[in-house]
Amino acid sequence: MSEGASAKLAILVWAADPESPHLCATPFYMAAAAAAMDAKVEMYFTARSVRLLETGVAERLTAAPGGAPLADFLLQAHRLGVRLYACPTALQAHGVPESRLRLEVAGQAGAAAFIGRTLDTAWRTLSF
């Protein structure tokens, strides 16, 4: 990153499924790393990944046997300033009411919001 540049990273999380917890820590880990490097980071959760934002789910999952709960990775990213967004269509499709979202969730944002980031030349994107 060049001196004085303000890096921005939008991360699409769609394949990190609670049924496959070994895939779930990396998006949070990468988001936290980017935020620690002073990047503005947003994570957009869609498909079954929105269930990771449901209260209590991340506390029950580990990426590896005996490893830290996924909630530790999520909370670290949040503490570093990462903004978490849930797709409203995915919430509805997977039966997650807004009232069950974690307090760390910044709000709801769907396809248009993420696509807007991909089309904005000031932003970089990753997908998990």
pLDDT bucket at 69, cuts 50 / 70 / 90? very high
Residues 5-32: tens digit of each pLDDT: 589 999 999 999 999 999 999 999 999 9
Averaged pLDDT score across all residues of the chain? 96
In this prediction, residue 5 carries a pLDDT of 55
Domain that includes residue 35, residue range: 8-127
pLDDT above 90: residue 2: no
Quick one: pLDDT at residue 60?
97
Residue 53 falls inside a structural domain: yes
pLDDT of the residue at 24: 98
CATH number at residue 27: 3.40.1260.10
**Is 2 inside a domain boundary?**
no
DSSP result, 49-80 = GGGGGBTTHHHH-BSSTT--BHHHHHHHHHHT
Q: Domains in the chain: how many in total? A: 1
d(Cα 123, Cα 19) in Å, to the nearest integer? 30
